[in-house]
Amino acid sequence: MIKGIKFSGIASGIKPSGLDLGLVLFQEKTHVLSLYTSNRVKAAHILYDRKYEGDPVRALVVNSGCANACTGKEGIADLEVIGEKLAKLLKIGRTEVLFASTGVIGKRLPVDTIKSALPVAVKSLREGHAEDFAKAIITTDTHHKLVKETFKGKKDYSIIGVAKGSGMLNPNFATMLAFVFTDYPIAPDAIRAAFRQAVTESFEKITVDGECSTNDTVMLFTRRGEQDLSALGEFKAKLRSVLKDLAIMLIRDGEGATKVAHIMIKGARKKETAEKIARRIAISPLVKTAFFGSDPNWGRIICAAGDAGVPVEPAKVDITLQDQEIVKAGVELPFDEEKMKRMMNKNEIAVVVNLNEGKAVFDIYTTDLTFDYVKINASYRS
């Protein structure tokens, strides 16, 4: 619980059942830092928020069940209408309200439904209701994602991270919504670079399906007022920890996933080379289906590495799977097929590809590709 920040999550009727509208109220004017999707098609809430996120923030509204993306000027106007209604209820300015949405692309928000539900959302606000908020923002997730940490400065501070995401997860960055709240007083300029780096090292190192959404949003809310610089280092460390924990939660809850694979590329001449190879392997359907089938088919791994658009010398490549080296200098080492299948029949799979050309490294987390992933996404709108 963070004193001065209230949460609620209610069933407003956007979705046929379940919680679907989350609300956060900041008792005092609050700073915000935001990062958004790299997709050139952006949801209405991103276009709206960019106009006002430089101003003090007092409230955040997050809905699930409707992405409010590709809805034109009307989609932005809908947020203005909802914001005006909420501002009157909370007695704050409309431009002090920010939004985020997730769900099906191409549908406008049911404005009247949301407006009718706002009084209930406001009445339900409590400092201890972060879990209700977390539950209200999920879509195909099997569970909500919530992380809490504390740290010390001139006083004790708290930090809460909330995220949603299960499918359409891909670096640059992972498709999801994520919100971090803290009572730590610090100005945006003092942590902007650290925030960007923390996102890079967490959400940009996971992928489920290689798809990049229109709605990706990460927001960090910090308290205004006299800064406590004595705790700056501790805050940055906790921020990195919270975002990394949330990212791992997202990948473990990947749509239909039964396994998480950690792919490490070593020995590259440049980090960019290692990154491109890691990302190419991580999104390969053939590699991911091999993970699902516990198949030590290393040929799929080296094939994907060679198709990453960067130089690779096959005769130098070593591959280690589940801590057992199975390829040396581009040639298979003898291994027990059935034993390796048993080793791969785990929730966690480790892959190390050593290019043996330099010292640069890059790692990424991905999932297997399963029947259930196809089932979920074949009927997402129904």
Helix (H) or strand (E) holding 135: helix 130-136
Terminal-residue alpha carbon distance, the chain: 37
Bridge partners of 177, per DSSP, are 164, 217
Collapse the DSSP code of 28 into the 3-class scheme (helix H, G, I; strand E, B; otherwise coil) and give the result.
strand
What is the C-alpha separation between 152 and 159, in angstroms, rounded? 11
Q: Could you tell me which residues come within 8 angstroms of residue 369 by beta carbon, excluding any fewer than 6 positions away?
A: 209, 256, 285, 288, 289, 291, 292
Q: Quickly count helices (H) and strands (E) in the chain.
A: 11, 14
CA distances from 210 to 92, 278, 363 (A): 40, 12, 16
What is the C-alpha separation between 215 and 77, in angstroms, rounded? 17
Q: Which of 288, 264, 284 is nearest to 353 (CA)?
A: 264
User: Are 249 and 69 spatial neighbours (Cβ–Cβ below 8 Å)?
Assistant: no
Q: Which of 310, 305, 339 is nearest to 324 (CA)?
A: 339
* Count of beta carbons in the 10 Å neighbourhood of residue 17: 7
Q: Does 289 participate in catalysis according to the annotation?
A: no
The dihedral formed by the CA atoms of 128, 134, 137 and 140, expressed in degrees to the nearest 10: -150
- The catalytically annotated residue of 71, 102, 175, 207 is 175
* Residues with a known catalytic role: 175
